[in-house]
Structure formats: C-alpha cells, structure tokens
Amino acid sequence: MFSDVQMEIKYVPLSKFQIEPSMEDKFWEEKIKRSIDECNSVSTLKEMATLLARIATQRQGVIRGLVQDMFIFNNVAVEQEDLTNPEIKSE
C-alpha cells in the first residue's frame, strides 16, 4: 500500500520559467492592437473581444494543465495567485 512518507512540495513563482512571448507572438499582438485601433465597428470589436477571450481561456487551461503536470512529475507547484486571471476594470 502507500507509505507514510510525506512529500515536500516546492513552490516556485511562475516568473521562474522562461515564458516570454515569441517574436511571432509579438507580431501577432501588434497586428491585433492595430486592428482594434483602426476599427470603427462596435460589432467587429465585440467579435474581436470574444475571440480574444476564447484564446485567453484556452491558454489559461493549457497553463493550468502544464502546472499540474509539473506538480505530478516534479513535485513543483506554482502559487495560485500566479495563475489567476486579471480583473476586468470597467470605466
């Protein structure tokens, strides 16, 4: 069965990992920013916002899955505050 051995969990900040956007990601971000700045259609802006929310949600799920794998295979955990989505500020 299972032994009474207690595993020590090592918590590390998410910033410890090299998770910088690639050059391709930076170009895509600039393209999106310019498209938003140049857009005069509310419906198009809503469509863009919905797409960006979907992408952010998918990427957040991938990050959480990878963090879970780090914990399972390497006994390394990331603080929950590093994984939470930012608050949306309304004007």
Report d(CA 59, CA 10) in Å as an integer. Answer: 24
How many domains would you assign to the chain? Answer: 1
pTM for this model (two decimals): 0.63
Residue at 18 is within a domain: no
**Domain of residue 45, residue span:** 32-82
Report d(CA 7, CA 25) in Å as an integer. Answer: 38
Residue at 54 is within a domain: yes
Residue at 37 is within a domain: yes
Residue at 65 is within a domain: yes
pLDDT at residue 4 greater than cutoff 60:
no
Report d(CA 74, CA 18) in Å as an integer. Answer: 17
Residue-wise pLDDT tens digits, 39-85: 999 999 999 999 999 999 998 888 888 878 877 666 777 777 777 77
Residue at 22 is within a domain: no
Find out whether 65 and 1 touch, Cβ atoms under 8 Å: no
Residue at 67 is within a domain: yes
Q: What is the pLDDT of residue 41?
A: 96
Residue at 60 is within a domain: yes
